[in-house]
Every structure is written in structure tokens, then in C-alpha cells.
Amino acid sequence: MSYLTKTVVYVLLVAQALANDWPIIDGYPCPQEDIDNTGCQGPKDCLYRNPENCSRFIQCTVDGLAYDMPCAEEYLHWNDGLKVCDWPENAGCTTGAFSGGSDDLVTPAPQPFQCPRKDIVNTLCLGPKDCLYTNPADCGTFIQCTVNPGNQSGTPIVMPCPAGLKWNDKKKECDWPANATCRHKK
Ligand SMILES: *[C@@H]1O[C@H](CO)[C@@H](O)[C@H](O)[C@H]1NC(C)=O
Ligand SMILES: *[C@@H]1O[C@H](CO)[C@@H](O)[C@H](O)[C@H]1NC(C)=O
Ligand SMILES: *[C@@H]1O[C@H](CO)[C@@H](O)[C@H](O)[C@H]1NC(C)=O
């Protein structure tokens, strides 16, 4: 491996390891559209501003979990246009603790789950594992979409897992917590 390749691999591994150690923001509405479009695979995918702190940002995963991430250096600010931590004068982040802007300090309310249209149209939710999703608000449940008349959209229904089990989005079934992909506190 070239030095550059090694460095890139190393940085990716560190980013991965870090993401799993940071606190999860319960109920943050990770945009499903971005998850569907990118799978959150690229280095700038599924990164968002933290409305409460300019020197932090939010990283969503493909499972819809939102991690509360710090910039590498506290004096840097999140630049949401470039999707990097940047010098404050370049970042244009106006939502710091001292901005006085009250709207920006409000935690976004969880949005109602949107059933991915692509899945509805492609599968009509006919298969046993079709149209089942992580419930970002509660790991002891999952979301099942049912097809609306016209076969173009769906209605989400929250379904409980059996007691003690949590959602495993890879297997699309409720699983022992150790193997669940959903990692909220609940
Ligand atoms: C913002 O986050 C940094 C760490 O990234 C932390 O040191 C600082 O205390 C936070 N500021 C507020 C106001 O929470
Ligand atoms: C929706 O799909 C079902 C099952 O394939 C089919 O029976 C029905 O005719 C479809 N309805 C429309 C409006 O396409
Ligand atoms: C988790 O999955 C692994 C691999 O499939 C399996 O060996 C292990 O027994 C599972 N653990 C639980 C608690 O189900």
C-alpha cells in the first residue's frame, strides 16, 4: 500500500471508530432522502450543523442514528457549505452559545417518518423483509410501511419487538441487543 492509501484507510478507520464512541442525539431527524441517495458512504455525506454548538457537528449513519461529533479543534467552526470544520470567519456559523439567536437553540422536533417511495414502488412491500425500517425514536420497536391506495406512497406503522429484543436493520428483524443495529438508549 502506498503511504497515501495507508493514510486514507487509517483516517477512515479512525473516523469510524470515533463515530461509535460519541453520544447519540435521540430523536434527531436524519434526512431519509440523504440516507437513500448516498448510503452515508462518502466522507461528506450525512453531515449536518449542530444547532447548539458551532464547534460540533452531527453525523448521521445509514441506520438513521445521529452522532454528536466535535470538530478536531475547539476553535474551529462547522462550515456547512463545505462540510468541514473550518476557521470561524470562513465557517459562517452563527448559532454558537453566544449568538443570542433563540430559534437556533431549539432542538429540531423529530419529523414524522417518511416511507421511502422507491421501496414502495419497487416492492409494493410484498416480501417479508420489504418496507421495514429502524425507528429512530425507539429501538425496541421498528417501522413497517403499508402501501397506500395507488401504490405510490406508504403509511408508517410502529411495530413492537418482542420484549428484550431490539431492531437489527441488516437482518430486518428484532434481535438480541448485542446484534441489533439500532443503538439508542431505549
Ligand atoms: C461546544 O463543544 C465543545 C467541544 O466540541 C465543548 O468544549 C464546548 O463546551 C461546547 N460549548 C457549549 C456551549 O456547549
Ligand atoms: C397496486 O398493486 C396491487 C398489487 O400488485 C395491484 O393489485 C393493484 O392493482 C395496484 N393498484 C394500482 C392503482 O396500481
Ligand atoms: C450475534 O451474531 C453472531 C454472528 O451471527 C452470533 O455468533 C452470536 O451468537 C449472536 N449473538 C447473539 C446474542 O444473538
CA 76 to the chain's CA centroid: 23
**Best mutation site among 131, 151, 152 for ligand 2 pocket (most ligand atoms within 8 Å of CB):** 151
Give the whole-angstrom CA distance, residue 30 versus residue 158: 18
Mean pLDDT of 138-166: 91
Residue 149 binned pLDDT confidence (cut-offs 50, 70, 90): very high
**pLDDT digit string, tens, across residues 8-47:** 444 444 444 445 578 888 888 899 889 988 999 988 999 9
Q: Domains along the chain?
A: 3-105 (no CATH), 117-179 (2.170.140)
**Best mutation site among 166, 174, 179, 181 for ligand 3 pocket (most ligand atoms within 8 Å of CB):** 179
- SS3 (DSSP) at 165: coil
The predicted model scores a pTM of 0.46
Residue 110 binned pLDDT confidence (cut-offs 50, 70, 90): low
Instruction: Answer yes or no: is pLDDT of 83 > 80.
Output: yes
Give the whole-angstrom CA distance, residue 11 versus residue 139: 30
Instruction: Answer yes or no: is pLDDT of 167 > 80.
Output: yes
Instruction: Answer yes or no: is pLDDT of 98 > 50.
Output: no
What pLDDT score does 27 carry?
A: 81
